[in-house]
Amino acid sequence: MAIVAAGVLLFDQLTKLAVLKYLGYAQEKVIIEGFFKFVHWRNTGAAWSLFNQFAGSNQLLAIFALVALLVLFLTRHHFDSHTLLGQLSLGLIFGGIAGNLMDRFNHGHVVDFIYFYLNRRGGGEIGFPAFNVADSAICTGVGLLFLLSWQKDHAGAAPTKEPAGQN
């Protein structure tokens, strides 16, 4: 779990460092025209810039992230942390939370830079909100926890039998 978390944190911070160094704020670098580009956006809100418009949201979300890390760490045994999938999922979540938390402390915002979009016929574009490696790790880790929970629920279920005499 710790190795995964450290790897996510390192990769997240290195990618954000590259964005800060090579891409000015609000600049973009198209990778696949009409589909994918790197951007440099600041996010003081939560996922997909929720609560971005509220004063003090960065500080409040930093406190929330610290509490979330503590609660997850103290309750990790409830998440099958003894299994490989449990270790992986928690490592992804811990590393992702820590990566965005470092941004909030170091920059006063989270650096988002991965942007998928489609060009509209009449001009302009429609896109998924920009995100970063930490966001991806958190979402993947949560998804793996759901998968783990689903597997656990179905592993204990007894196979259903048809009543005798019905074929």
- Other beta carbons within 10 angstroms of residue 153's beta carbon come to 9
Catalytic residue flag (residue 153): no
Residues 6+ apart with CB under 8 A from 68: 97
Catalytic residue flag (residue 135): yes
Choose the catalytic residue: 12, 80, 103, 135. 135
Return the C-alpha torsion angle 97, 101, 107, 111, nearest 10: 10
Sign of the CA dihedral with 37 first, then 38, 42, and 47 last: positive
Alpha carbons 4 and 97: distance in angstroms, whole number:
13
Choose the catalytic residue: 12, 103, 112, 153. 112
Angle between helices 2-22 and 133-155 (to 10 degrees): 150
Tell me phi and psi for residue 125, to 5 degrees. Answer: -145, 160
Alpha carbons 52 and 60: distance in angstroms, whole number:
11
Catalytic site positions? 112, 135
